Amino acid sequence: MNTTPTQPAATTPVTSVPTNPTNPASSADTPAQSAQSAQAATQPALQPAEQPATQPALFRPPQLSWRWFPVFRRNLLVWRKLAVPSLVGNIAEPLITLVAFGYGLGALVGQVQLGGTTMPYILFLASGSICMSAMNAASFEALYSAFSRMHVQRTWDGIMNAPVRLDDVVFAEMLWAAFKSLFTSVVILGVMLALGISHSPMLLLALPLLALVGIVFSSIALIFNALAKGYDFFTYYFSLFLTPTMFLSGVFFPRDQLPAVVREISSWLPLTAAVELIRPLFLGQWPAQALQHLAVLAVYGVAAFWVALALTRKRFRG
Amino acid sequence: MTQPLFEVSHLTKRYGAATVVNDLSFSIAPGECLGVIGPNGAGKTTTIRMCLGLTSPDAGSIRYFPGGAASGGSGNGGPGAALAMPQDALAIKERLGIVSQFDSLDPDFSCAENLLVFGRYFGLKDAVIKERIPRLLEFAALTHKADAKLSELSGGMKRRLSLARALVNDPQLLLLDEPTTGLDPQARHLMWERLQRLVQQGKSILLTTHFMDEAERLCNRLLVLDHGKKMTEGTPRTLIAQNLEPDVVEVYGAGALALLESPLKALAARVEVSGETLFFYTSDAKRLLAALNDYPALRTLHRPANLEDLFLKLTGRQIREAA
């Protein structure tokens, strides 16, 4: 992640230039020059030679080190103790939805026409709902659980008493939520295989894609985590962002059903990109416009993590 | 004089129009325990936050470990240059132990796991940490609670575990923000005993506290802070001797306040009123007590001047609204 900074100017500390009211000549010169010369003239008289460090820019690039790993490992250790109940909670709900809608509604709907292909509704729904589960699992972890650790338990404060940067903590939380989401996806995919919904060997390719979906949605969720005053705030995120996303992204019904304008918007949603990439794999086909969809996910992921990090830095700046 | 281990110079922090910390300078010598005392809102917490790199100062510098900066320095200085906060925050925290005002222990872990997980944040190998854990638990008097969940611990046990956790990296300097606030007397005494043991081992400590007995007992030197400024600095005994008369006679009971108008007032260097009680600060308690014999209705208490008197003299008796 230590890639080329896109905002090189932001990393250069801005030194504040003191104006000198006792120097009347300064007003004649260009402000910058005069202030500089005034500073040079008074420098020996000014007391402490050491200037305080200027506040670094919020949007500077992530400063990451391997210290994110012990933070990730901490979450893993907690989870190992609570894995079984948390697994049941994470997986039961999506599977119940799949079975109820897939077989119940599927009996009414029968086959779904998508592009040139016809497929049973259960297959259509399964391939969309695994993306939705990945989204939900990542969002829950990066909102409620991360907020508990950041705000309620002050775990992050404790961690930063050790030589660990906030950037590493946020990065670890993002990867952790993505990991948990991927774990959920793997188990659900396993159940789908057992139910015989699809046996395409191309499903193996779905795993890295689902990991990417986890990264994207945990990054977006961490933005709202950084802004939250309490848990109530997350209700807005779920009902105003995730629920519409779910219905607009072709999880439950083909996007052809949407009005043209809404369909256009939906084309640029991250969950749409995920569904468009993963659904063909269930049918043993290569996704169309794969690069475009991957690019959409990548842009959402990088931009969201960057914003989340900046807002979290702002939150922790006292 | 030896080089200080930690040095703060001309530190200033403003929030809007309010100057919370105002040109504050102090230092800690190796092996010394410095206490920072002051009323609520005096700037103690802001100072600590700046020392930890959590808040950036508007002016001034914070330097750690001069002469011992083996690696990780920001580069503005040759060998032996001090580490500066916040630029060298990580290199500083490698060698620092921090106990913050609020516990940030992991509720999902046992005592031993809390120490293990925290040690990993320093990049220590599991084998190294596991070798240290028994000694740390013993130090915290928590050996019998090694595998206990956090919810089974009392407030005092949690504070001691926080202290043990801060020692996992074997730090040279400890920063303790109100380490005994909210503890019962037994737990406080055990904490004090442990902190004294650390000073005997040669650790240096910066401590903030509200408790004058704690400050007097633990600290080699005290710094009284109010309105973000240093009011005074010195050993507890010297500060009392310099600022106060040796004796205090407290007088209370019906009609005590009338003494303010009596000639008795001349027998004290200073008289303070708090509610219905008068405090006579005097170098001649004998004459004052003899004179008070004429007022049998009043009750008196004669005692030596202490740190609390000094604190109240310097920072006033009024309650701080900001608290």
Q: In chain B, pLDDT over 70 holds for what percent of residues?
A: 94
- The string of pLDDT tens digits covering residues A143-187 is 999 999 999 999 999 999 999 999 999 999 999 999 999 999 999
pLDDT surpassing 50 at residue A35: no
Are A161 and B59 in contact (CB < 8 Å)?
Answer: no
* Residue A256, in any domain of the structure: yes
pTM of the model: 0.84
Residue B321: what pLDDT? 56
Of A47, A70, A160, the CB nearest to B120: A70
Query: What H or E segment, with its residue span, contains residue B285?
Result: helix B285-292
Average pLDDT on A207-219 reads 98
Measured between beta carbons, the chain B residues lying within 8 angstroms of A316 are 54
- C-alpha distance from B9 to closest chain A C-alpha (Å): 9
What is the structure's pLDDT at A318?
66
Rounded to whole angstroms, the Cα distance separating B8 from B248 reads 35
Q: Is residue A36 part of a domain?
A: no
Give the range of the structural domain holding residue A140, as residue numbers without chain letter.
68-316
Domain ranges for chain B: 6-240, 246-304
Overall number of domains in chain A: 1
Query: Which chain B residues touch A55 with a CB distance below 8 Å?
Result: 56
Residue B164 C-alpha, separation from nearest chain A C-alpha, in angstroms: 13
pLDDT band at A8 (very low <50, low <70, confident <90, very high): very low
What average pLDDT is seen over chain A? 84
Residue of A50, A71, A148, A155 for testing the chain B interface, max B β-carbons within 10 Å: A50
Statement: residue A4 has pLDDT above 60: no
Residues of A whose CB is below 8 A from B86: 53
Put simply, whether A316 touches B (Cβ < 8 Å) is yes
Q: In what order do the strands lie in the sheet with B18-28?
A: B18-28, B6-15, B59-64, B83-85
Nearest CA in chain A to B50: A318
- What's the CATH fold of domain B6-240? Rossmann fold (3.40.50)
Q: Spell out the alpha helix ranges (H) of A14-67.
A: 31-42
Q: For residue range B214-233, list pLDDT tens digits in order.
A: 998 899 999 999 999 998 99
Higher pLDDT, A295 or A37: A295
How many C-beta atoms surround the C-beta of residue B68 within 10 A?
14
| pLDDT above 70 (res B186) | yes
Q: Let me know if residue A283 belongs to a domain.
A: yes
Q: A62: which 2 tokens?
A: 């992530």
Task: Return the closest-CA partner of residue A100 out of A117, A121, A131, A127.
Answer: A121
**Rounded Cα gap, residues B126 and B118, in angstroms:** 11
For residue A51, being part of any structural domain is answered with no
User: CB–CB of B109 and A52 under 8 A?
Assistant: no
Q: Is residue A56 part of a domain?
A: no
Each residue's pLDDT tens digit, B61-98 = 999 998 754 444 444 444 467 899 988 999 999 999 99
CB pair distance less than 8 Å for A81 and B108:
yes
* Bridge partners (DSSP) listed for residue B271: B280
* pLDDT over threshold 80, residue A2: no
Residue A83 is assigned to a structural domain of this protein? yes
**Whether A157 contacts chain B with CB within 8 A:** yes
**From B88, which residue of chain A is nearest by alpha-carbon distance?**
A163
CA distance A99 to A106: 10
Quick check: B169 and B93 in contact, CB under 8 A? no
Q: Do B94 and A53 count as a contact with CB atoms less than 8 A apart?
A: no
What was the ipTM of the complex prediction? 0.86
Helix (H) or strand (E) holding A84: helix A68-99
Dump the DSSP string for A205-269. Answer: GHHHHHHHHHHHHHHHHHHHHHH-SSTTHHHHIIIIIIHHHHHHTTSSS-GGGS-HHHHHHHTTS
**Which residue among A153, A159, A318 sits closest to B49, beta carbon to beta carbon?**
A318
Q: What angle do CA A212, A218, A224 make, to 5 degrees?
A: 150
Touching B: A residues 273-292, CB under 8 Å? none
Q: What is the pLDDT of residues A94-137, one digit of tens each?
A: 888 888 888 888 888 889 988 788 999 999 999 999 999 999 99
Q: Is residue A77 within 8 angstroms of chain B, CB to CB? A: yes
| Model confidence pLDDT, tens digit, residues B119-161 | 999 999 999 999 999 999 999 999 999 999 999 999 999 999 9
Chain B residue at shortest CA distance from A80: B108
A199 within some domain: yes
Single out the residue of B84, B20, B7, B21 nearest to residue B53, CA to CA. Answer: B84
Alpha carbons B270 and A117: distance in angstroms, whole number: 97
Q: Give how far B306 is from chain A: nearest CA, Å.
A: 35
Considering only CB atoms, which chain A residues are within 8 Å of B58?
52
Give the bridge partners for A145, in sequence order: none
CB–CB contact B121 A163 (8 Å): yes
Inter-chain CB proximity B107 and A73 less than 8 Å: no
Which pLDDT value is given to residue B16? 87
Q: Decide: B256 and B278 in contact? Cβ < 8 Å.
A: yes
Is the predicted pLDDT of residue A50 greater than 80, yes or no? no
| B104 → closest Cβ in A50, A82, A157 | A157
* Minimum-distance CB partner of B117 among A50, A77, A154: A77
Percent of chain A with pLDDT over 70: 83
Share of chain B above pLDDT 90, in %: 57
Closest approach of A78 to chain B, Cα-based (Å): 6
Q: How confident is the model at residue B102 (pLDDT cuts 50, 70, 90)?
A: confident
Å from B145 to nearest chain A CA? 19
Q: Would the CB atoms of A52 and B61 count as touching at under 8 Å? A: yes
Residue ranges of E strands in chain B? 6-15, 18-28, 33-37, 59-64, 83-85, 96-99, 173-177, 204-209, 221-226, 229-234, 247-252, 270-274, 277-282, 299-304
Instruction: Report which of residues A57 and A37 the model is more confident about.
Output: A57
CATH 3.30.70 fits B246-304, yes or no: yes
The answer, yes or no, to whether residue A82 has pLDDT greater than 90, is no
pLDDT at A12: 37
The verdict on residue A303 lying in a domain is yes
**B49, B55, B122 member nearest A162 (Cβ):** B122
What are the tens digits of pLDDT across the range B228-284? 999 899 998 898 888 888 899 999 888 888 888 888 888 888 888 888 888 999 988
Residue of A11, A15, A74 to mutate, testing the B interface (most B Cβ within 10 Å of its Cβ): A74
Q: Is B120 in Cβ contact with A78 (below 8 Å)? A: no
Average pLDDT, integer, range B206-221? 90
Confidence of residue B1 (pLDDT cuts 50, 70, 90): low
Tell me which residue in B55, B107, B122 faces A153 most closely, judged by beta carbons: B107
Quick one: average pLDDT of A61-65?
91
